[in-house]
Chain A
Amino acid sequence: MNFIALNAWDLVIAALLVVMLSLLSFRLALGISRKLLFAALRTTAQLLLIGFILNLLFANVHPGWVALLATVMLLAAGRIVMERQEHRFLGWWGYGVGTLSMFLSSFAVTLITLLVIIRPEPWYQPQYAIPLLGMMLGNTMNGVALGLERLTSSVTQQRRVIEARLIQGHPWCEAISLIRRDAMRVGMVPMLNAMAAAGVVSLPGMMTGQILAGAEPMEAVKYQILIMFLIASGTGFGTMGAVHFGARRLFDERERLRLDRLKQTEHYSS
């Protein structure tokens, strides 16, 4: 492969830029200089760790190890989705709604890709499976988090309006229909924007990476198109699933709106 390997000094120079940014934000009292350094350290540690793990994984190709890493990635994504919710569901649901939907959509789409489209030998070849799943999860996570946050915050704000429909004798799914539709749409907007901007405003990261690594631009483009479609469907299905499960959970078996199932903030009053 004809690409230029980086040495430690190359990274140090780039790191100096981040340090300068941190110093500047300290001077401007933005209050994020420390966070910035911490985030830079965190990303370095996490990436080195995953690099190390991938090295191990490539050396010992075994479905068990791939499954283990995939599970860890899924659980981490589930945690991030939960942390981003201001009005998250209480109990296991807070974690479960997002994680389950991401599992269903990301894993299904990744499996289809590996088994039907790319077909590496063996199909769980970590060189393909892990980056694909990572891209799926990373994007689906955003859609799911946005969709769920919109669902729960709208419901909290519009409690009385939803109850007005319940009082009028509307079934729960009708009472929540507009909010549910809106939340699904919100979760899918970033994915639509990404598809619209691809190649015109932004050169997507994966394609850039392949080109940097010496791949033919057209080969990289074909992969990128594939990835775009996979991300779009994975994010879409994941967001729909999460909002669907979430909306169901907001109502009980008597079709009552149960905001007590959400973490309550100070604005909430009975």
Chain B
Amino acid sequence: MQKQEFTITVYTENQIGLLNRIAILFSKRKINIDSLNTSPSEVDSVHRFTIVINETEEVVRKLCRQIEKQVEVLKAYYNTNEEIIWQELALYKVPTEIIAEEVKVERLLSQYGAKAVVIRKDYTVFEVSGQRDETDAFIKVLEPYGLIEFVRSARVAIIKASDGFHKKLKEFEYREPSEEVIENEYLDKNEEVFTM
């Protein structure tokens, strides 16, 4: 099985220490986390982790089950890049003087979908939201003009096939979930969600 990029989406309770509990499942198998983001989710009080790793599907599946096994984890899904809409955000700091003199800033911004967040006398900060190749390309553009600082955020991703977590959470809150929501991945193999 080929290694490829997978995005793992984990819905959890908001609990101190849970980040560590999830992270050690990766380090235990000596797997590097390429990107990790924690954020609120569509549901109040439910947290959402977005984790990117480069692994075989088999390993990712086993990892997701071990993640889901953690008491405070509600659900873990994994998806290939084709199954998600994803973005990263990058910030670039450049000297204003040079950039204003030598570049047609307006054109640059529209060409790369960038925007100026701050323009000061001494420096300007641009922002690009996009996929890795887009944020990378803008580095190349700015490098000749003296890129002072660069930073890129973790990936955030929306699962194309997901209906969100509202309905699912309700089922979690019931002691006896109804028949149609009791998932079994072997049965629901063809559905796009990874299951409990």
Q: Do A and B bind each other?
A: no
Chain B interface residues (CB < 8 Å from chain A): none
Chain A interface residues (CB < 8 Å from chain B): none
